[in-house]
Homo-oligomer: A and B are copies of this chain.
Amino acid sequence: MTSTLRRRPAQRRSVERVERMLDECALLLDEVGYEALTTKEVARRAGVPIGTFYQFFHDKQGLVRALARRNLEAFLQRITARIPAADLEHWTDLVDLAIDEFVGMKRSTPGFAVVDFGEVLTTPDGPAVGGSRWSLDDAQENNVVVAERLRAVSLELLDAPAGPGLDRALLVAVEATDAVLKLAFRADPAGDPALIAECKQLVHRYLADHLP
């Protein structure tokens, strides 16, 4: 994958069009789900001809990946914006803040409940290409990015013991959080509060091994 987008929108008009397409994609995902989502409908609603659609997005998956990417950016932005204001006494406060923000976005951001940061579909890439996998330099595995960001914050705010163990632990925590919160929102469209609480507990207990 060269980039998320096929062609980076240069003119102001193009940027707006891409943004509109992502917006409509998000809304449609909520309405009909990934499988029933059609590129034609996204283009039509966004007022963009189908040919132009494919100038910007590689394919249907590319569209959704771009949305996931935008979600990720928004999440990181919100997190970093809220951190200075909040007084974090323990690292657990940071965990809770992140989870609450994630839940907030699940509730308020269209399409977020369906895709959040994740690839909806994973395509097998044929016999693994050489080199250790998940190098993360390509866009794949957005959760890795989340984990890295949280790690950076952790190291900055609390004096956490750096090391590969923490990296892995945070990644595991993010992945688990993602799954449990998805469950919480499958069980209850507004997000089952008990399951959300349980999610925090899960992460607290687990990370207690790696943070003071």
A interface list, Cβ under 8 A from B? 30-36, 61, 114, 120-124, 128, 133-134, 141, 143, 168-169, 171-172, 175-176, 178-180, 182-183, 186-189, 194-195, 198-199, 201-202, 205-206, 208-209
- Which chain B residues lie closer than 8 Å to A175 at the CB level? 179-180, 182-183
What CA separation (Å) do A168 and B192 show in the bound complex?
Answer: 11
Q: With A and B bound together, what is the CA distance between A183 and B143 in angstroms?
A: 10
A194 & B168 in contact (Cβ 8 Å cutoff): yes
Q: Are A183 and B172 in contact (CB under 8 A)?
A: yes
CB of B33 within 8 A of CB of A186, answer no
Top-8 shortest CB links A-B: A179-B179, A176-B176, A205-B205, A33-B123, A202-B206, A175-B183, A175-B179, A33-B124
Residues of chain B contacted by A171 (CB below 8 angstroms): 183
User: In the bound complex, what is the Cα–Cα distance between A61 and B179 (angstroms)?
Assistant: 21
Number of copies: 2
Residues of B within 8 A of A183 (CB): 143, 171-172, 175
A168 touching B186 by the CB < 8 A rule? no
15 contacts between A and B (CB under 8 A): A35-B121, A114-B122, A120-B121, A133-B187, A133-B188, A141-B186, A171-B183, A172-B195, A175-B180, A175-B182, A176-B176, A176-B180, A176-B202, A202-B202, A205-B208
Tell me if A195 and B176 are in contact (CB < 8 A): no
With a CB–CB cut-off of 8 A, which chain B residues contact A34?
121
Do residues A172 and B180 form an inter-chain contact, with CB atoms below 8 A?
yes
A15 to chain B, nearest CB (A): 29
Which B residues are in CB contact (< 8 Å) with A169? 198
**Do B123 and A35 have beta carbons less than 8 Å apart?**
yes
**Supplied contacts A35-B121, A168-B195, A175-B179, 7 more A-B pairs, CB within 8 Å:** A30-B124, A35-B123, A133-B187, A168-B194, A175-B183, A179-B179, A205-B209
CA distance A202 to B171 in the complex (A): 12
The answer to whether A189 touches B35 (Cβ under 8 A) is no
Question: Roughly how many angstroms separate A33 CA and B121 CA in the complex, as a whole number?
Answer: 8
